[in-house]
Structure 1
């Protein structure tokens, strides 16, 4: 019985840590945009995010066209410049500060 309890506790802790690591973060997306894409785009993340509404960003992401949209908005950005692990963070940033969100980032 004790061993089953230990296994259940270990699984709970593991799942708690795994979901925390897997979650994306708008603040991290903002930092990535400033560091990697502000110069090639020629504008800050706030101007990037307001290019679409939250619904439009959601549709773009669900269709798997987020990187294509980044390239369209920022022609100097190439597909190889956008790492797979950054996409969810930049999307969350874009969604959080979309034109209809009422939020204004500090970048």
Structure 2
């Protein structure tokens, strides 16, 4: 019985770690914005995220227009400069620090 319990516990741990790494991360989005887009945008991530409310960011993302909105807010950013793998993280950052969230990023 203890062997079965150990296997179940180990599989639960692996599943928990795998699902955590697969999800987007606001901190990673903040780092990506600073590294890849801050200079091209001409302002920091706090000003970028504050361009919309959380509901507006959700609507933009659910309509599949997040990349276009990023290029609209930062006209110097070209579509080729944005990797699709970055978008969930930058979206989470934008949503987390939106103008109605009450959160202020450190960038």
Give the TM-score taking structure 1 as reference length: 0.88
Matches within 5 A, 1:16-55: 16-55=16-55
State the shift of 1:106 in Å: 1.1
Structure 1 unmatched runs, 5+: none
State the shift of 1:11 in Å: 3.6
Give the TM-score taking structure 2 as reference length: 0.88
State the shift of 1:85 in Å: 1.5
What residue number does 1:103 align with?
103
Structure 2 unmatched runs, 5+: none
Matches within 5 A, 1:13-92: 13-92=13-92
Task: Give CA deviations for 1:10-47 in whole Å, capped at 9, x if unaligned.
Answer: 54233212101112111111111001000001111011
| Partner secondary structure for residue 106 of structure 2 | coil
**d(CA) in 2 for partners of 1:2 and 1:102?**
48
State the shift of 1:61 in Å: 0.7
**d(CA) in 2 for partners of 1:39 and 1:87?**
18
Q: How many residues align?
A: 107
**Aligned-CA RMSD value:** 1.7
